[in-house]
């Protein structure tokens, strides 16, 4: 394949992802992990790419972005370079899927630049993502709540998309990222997962039951109270699966405290995204979202600082345009 595209600069913007929980750490039915999640209202990543004789990358996390670009070009046998710029980065190792979103955004920009017909799952395979969770891949592809079905241990397929449902526009999400040491990722995450004891069969079955008979129907019915109870229950149970490594159902310190406080302050559903430290609360209405965000900001200031994002859930995936 050779590079054949119009001149110009391609821009790709994609949002952080929130991981709402893992479905199965046992693999007893032939698939590992699986999960539920969504794109966060904010923050977003913005990258651009334009044609160049050789590969050159600038901006935050340029080294990792260059690795992803080289992987994509090699995967598609493209004898070409590019000028890639990261204009806005996501917080790294914060539970927001920054690595996957960077990888997919760089790959998507290059695909558009060089006329490569592709999909989100093909992009993920080309740059070596979705080795465990495919939530970030599917939020890159589209909006709403996504459920993915996990990976087979003997293949490199991306976990398939099982369900995608839109959020009601009135539901708002507050995301807090405490200023803490980076969460584990990459090889350290794989090692940590390998050390975890398998969850109880009954709990795994309970998670599936909650997703199928409470979480998804409540979302379809615009029933935030039921959705929130189901989501919080899922988070508490799956969080305990990671407690031997994490130190509790939620990361000890500001993350665990904010999860508790957001529930007290009226959030219908609360939890932690992946290993944290990012946590979230879901409420109904713009005013309720603004009030919760203000209280969370004040709480963060008292425990080391951090960043708060607030808004309605996203209806679409990554945005792509050409200058």
pLDDT of residue 132: 77
pLDDT digits (tens, 9 = 90+) for 73-102: 999 999 999 999 999 999 999 999 999 999
Q: What is the 3-state secondary structure (H, E, C) of 113-146?
A: HCCCCCCHHHHHHHCCCCCCCCHHHHHHHCCCEE
pLDDT score, position 120: 95
Going from the C-alpha of 219 to that of each of 139, 143, 176, 222, 310, the distances in angstroms are 17, 14, 23, 5, 19
Q: Where are the alpha helices (DSSP H) in the chain?
A: 62-75, 98-113, 120-126, 135-141, 186-195, 201-210, 216-220, 224-246, 254-264, 286-301
**Which residues have C-beta within 8 Å of that of residue 57, sequence separation ≥ 6?**
63, 65, 66, 69, 84, 85, 86
pLDDT tens, position by position, 174-230: 999 999 877 666 677 778 777 888 899 999 999 999 999 999 999 999 999 999 999
What would the mean pLDDT of 94-120 be, rounded to a whole number?
Answer: 96
Q: Of 62, 58, 72, 57, whose CA–CA distance to 3 is shortest?
A: 72
12-16: average pLDDT = 98
Ramachandran angles phi, psi of 178, nearest 5°: -60, 150
Cβ-contact 60, 89 below 8 angstroms: yes
Query: Is pLDDT at 128 greater than 80 in this prediction?
Result: yes
Beta carbons of 289 and 309 less than 8 angstroms apart: no
Q: State percent of the chain over pLDDT 70.
A: 96
Per-residue confidence (pLDDT) for residue 7, from 0 to 100: 67
Confidence of residue 6 (pLDDT cuts 50, 70, 90): low
Please state, in angstroms and rounded to a whole number, the distance separating the CA atoms of residues 162 and 285: 28
Average pLDDT over the chain, rounded to whole? 93
Query: Mean pLDDT, to the nearest integer, of 58-74?
Result: 96
pLDDT of residue 23: 95
% of residues, the chain, pLDDT over 90: 83
């Amino acid at each position: 394949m050779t590079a054949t595209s119009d001149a110009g600069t391609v821009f790709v913007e994609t949002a952080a992802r929130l991981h709402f929980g893992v479905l199965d750490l046992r693999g007893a039915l032939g698939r590992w992990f699986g999960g539920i999640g969504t794109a966060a209202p904010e923050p977003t990543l913005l990258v651009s790419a334009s044609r160049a004789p050789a590969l050159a990358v600038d901006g935050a996390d340029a080294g990792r972005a260059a690795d992803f670009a080289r992987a994509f070009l090699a995967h598609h046998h493209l004898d070409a370079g590019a000028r890639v710029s990261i204009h806005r980065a996501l917080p790294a190792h914060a539970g927001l899927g920054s690595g996957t979103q960077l990888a997919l955004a760089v790959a998507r920009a290059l695909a558009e630049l060089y006329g490569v017909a592709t999909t989100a799952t093909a992009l993920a395979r080309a740059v070596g993502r979705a080795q465990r969770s495919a939530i970030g891949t599917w939020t890159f592809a589209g909006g709403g709540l996504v459920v993915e079905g996990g990976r087979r241990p003997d293949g490199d397929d991306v976990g398939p998309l099982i369900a995608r449902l839109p959020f009601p526009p009135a539901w708002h999400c507050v995301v807090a990222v405490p200023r803490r040491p980076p969460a584990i990722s990459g090889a350290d995450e794989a090692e940590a997962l390998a050390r975890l004891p398998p969850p109880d069969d009954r709990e795994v079955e309970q998670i599936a039951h909650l997703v199928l008979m409470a979480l998804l129907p409540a979302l379809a019915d615009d029933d935030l109270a039921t959705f929130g109870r189901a989501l919080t229950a899922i988070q508490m149970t799956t969080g305990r699966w990671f407690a031997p490594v994490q130190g509790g159902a939620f990361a000890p310190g500001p993350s665990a405290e904010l999860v508790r406080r957001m529930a007290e302050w009226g959030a219908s559903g609360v939890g932690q995204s992946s290993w944290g430290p990012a946590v979230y609360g879901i409420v109904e209405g713009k005013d309720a979202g603004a009030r919760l965000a203000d209280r969370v900001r004040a709480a963060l200031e008292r425990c080391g600082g951090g960043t708060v994002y607030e808004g309605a859930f996203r209806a679409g995936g990554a945005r792509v345009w050409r200058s």
